[in-house]
Structure 1
């Protein structure tokens, strides 16, 4: 990472085993920053937390010295156990982003004819954060009984598994199996 640049962050979209577990190829889109062969990256979210060196960078199925933001890439990482990295995790510069299982957010519900449904405290939603899909339970603000379609409100979400989150992070959610609305993370626990 060069001085003054944003820290590297890539959303993992797919994982391919290479050489019977001695090397994996992770594909995804670089959200920000740059990555080079030899850089150390951290897996974040969905039980991640492993530091690994990048052994190769592939852009358009060709080896490259580096890749930057808004590029779809493949990164070769060594010594990764099968199943320890999965879609929904992010690769990031070590310590630059954290995984959280709780957060506060402002949400907006879709119209009923577009999938929006009333949301009450204690209901389980399916959250889509970057490439991660994880279930969670919402709690509405104390003065709110329910949020009807086409309304906005503040909720606290408790996810079943931690995902890489940052304040200002957008997400979508489903309710009763249908697209129900969108939201933005407004506060993370300390």
Structure 2
């Protein structure tokens, strides 16, 4: 069985000759999309449904696109203010937006930018095409995670992001990459 459609929104355009439409562009992560399908906008509180008016692949109109392709989806203009980089377009009901999750993280070595991470530390989390500030909480028995350490943490983001169990992410501190992780549980 084919996995449900999911596309990362990497940019958003308003095509000049297509008045009343907006075109989010990005890579299809999984599944297949057809002209006329309904998609759900997920993340950043912008949840909405829309019909795909057309599909653009390298300035050519196609009736269908699938995983691995970079596309533009023409959607009704009412979506114009709602769509932004970091959201996803997905098959309705197939993925949800969350602000809290448990994760296993790994810190980089010091020579690659790794640094100590403490409870309450505010980090920039890079999840798919989204970058969202969040606060990390370490287990009670752990005062800090140091470079090259692996640890279980909980993360609370400032904005809801489309997340799934097993989702990988990276994180930065003061503009420097310091580690990566995997979502182990979605928290409500």
Q: Are 1:106 and 2:110 an aligned pair? A: no
Mark the CA change 1:82 to 1:58 in structure 2 (over 3 Å): closer, same or farther: closer
Aligned counterpart, 1:68 = 66
User: 3-state DSSP class of the match of 1:80?
Assistant: helix
Cα deviation for residue 82 of structure 1 reads: 3.6
Alignment of 1:18-57 (within 5 A): 18-19=15-16, 22-57=20-55
- TM-score, normalised by the number of residues in structure 1: 0.95
**Distance of 2:14 and 2:129 partners within structure 1:** 19
- TM-score, normalised by the number of residues in structure 2: 0.96
Preserved contact between residue 14 and residue 86 of structure 1 (Cα < 8 Å): yes
Mark the CA change 1:133 to 1:118 in structure 2 (over 3 Å): closer, same or farther: same
| Alignment deviations for residues 17-40 of structure 1 (CA, whole Å, 9 cap, x no partner) | 135871011110000000001000
Cα deviation for residue 81 of structure 1 reads: 4.5
> Pick from 140, 163, 180: which aligns with 2:161?
163
Preserved contact between residue 103 and residue 187 of structure 1 (Cα < 8 Å): yes
Q: Are 1:8 and 2:11 an aligned pair? A: no
Alignment of 1:85-164 (within 5 A): 85-164=83-162
**Distance of 1:156 and 1:41 partners within structure 2:** 30
Question: Over aligned residue pairs, what C-alpha RMSD do you find?
Answer: 1.2
Task: Give the unaligned 5+ runs of structure 1.
Answer: none
Structure 1 stretches of at least 4 aligned residues deviating more than 4 Å after TM superposition: none
Give the total of aligned pairs: 187
